[in-house]
Amino acid sequence: MPSGFSFDRKFLDHLTGPGHPEKPERATSIIEHLDRQSWAGELHRIAPLPADERWIESIHSEKYRRHAETACKNGLAYLDSMDVSISESSYDVALLAAGAPLVLADALVAKKIDNGFALVRPPGHHAEYDAALGFCLFNNVAVVARYLQIAHGLEKIAIVDWDVHHGNGTQHSFETDPSILYISTHQYPFYPGTGAFDETGEGRGRGATLNCPMPAGASDKDYESAFRTKVLPALEDFAPECILISAGFDAHSDDPLAQVNLSTDMFAWMTKRLVEIADKTADGRIISLLEGGYNLSRVAECVAVHLEVLLNAANSRLV
């Protein structure tokens, strides 16, 4: 089966204003770089569809969804937080961003693809049940996790979030749910202030959250150690039926919004390790979604090495 890829130029219609780091050029720089790769034509392109509002409301309140729709349609400049810039098209684009991983999920479960990557904006992992935060309107990865369970009957889903900022919204979505394992590597203390090591879930979900806070200046070696001693053992023990990746690339050493020093190659290394776990427990099933990454050249390079690993994994199963 091929590796899936979902993108639409409508993602460029979410306008955030001059100087905002989460800008349309993030997507265009990635697409332009991918178009120069010899293997890009092997990706199975799947057009995204807007997420039905019921799937948005599986994670967010109806009140918040309607609030987001009204704010965008009325031309407000911000939604809930000064860092969530919006435009009139932002609600429709956010529905499309939440919907892109859903079409990949459908194709994955139907065995039309082996794994997939959704190149979406706005990102999602900071969005809370009833509030926008950190450039995010809807929590895309949380929506597809719940969709896999409700629409496709998968029971155990793992979310690995290597964005440099902690995915507060994703953690809060599932912190009482033992069927969703949430793992995050992130700079700490740092925005948004959550993600301490002792945040491990609540109630029945205690133990299903694993935070690996990293100090400013953390290196490839530090992340490799965290993966080998914490992340990979937790995934093997949990044995997910699908792995979702909140693939932010702002932990790169050249990213302007943080102080973690990963190389481009490290993102390929982490992807390979997750592919190995998915092969053991999930029949290879991985869906990855773009989160952060704000150096235009580096985010494009990192997405390319990440996608190449996923594509090679898919191709290897064809042999």
Q: Which residues does the annotation mark as catalytic?
A: 126
The CA distances from residue 28 to 33, 94, 199, in Å, are: 8, 17, 37
Question: Is the separation of the CB atoms in 172 and 199 below 8 Å?
Answer: no
The CA distances from residue 54 to 95, 150, 294, in Å, are: 11, 11, 31
Q: How far apart are alpha carbons 16 and 89 in whole angstroms?
A: 11
Q: What 3-state class would DSSP assign to 32?
A: helix
Q: How far apart are alpha carbons 257 and 270 in whole angstroms?
A: 21
- DSSP-derived letter for residue 40 is G
Nearest to 35 by CA among 284, 304, 302, 240: 304
**Token code pair at residue 255:** 């990213």
**Token code pair at residue 231:** 């992340």
Q: Does the CA dihedral 300-183-222-257 come out positive or negative?
A: positive
Question: Is the separation of the CB atoms in 117 and 28 below 8 Å?
Answer: no
| H helix runs in the chain, sequence order | 25-35, 53-56, 62-73, 90-109, 140-152, 168-174, 220-226, 232-238, 264-281, 296-316
Q: What 3-state class would DSSP assign to 316?
A: helix
Q: Which DSSP helix (H) or strand (E) runs through 78? A: strand 78-79
**Token code pair at residue 175:** 């912190």
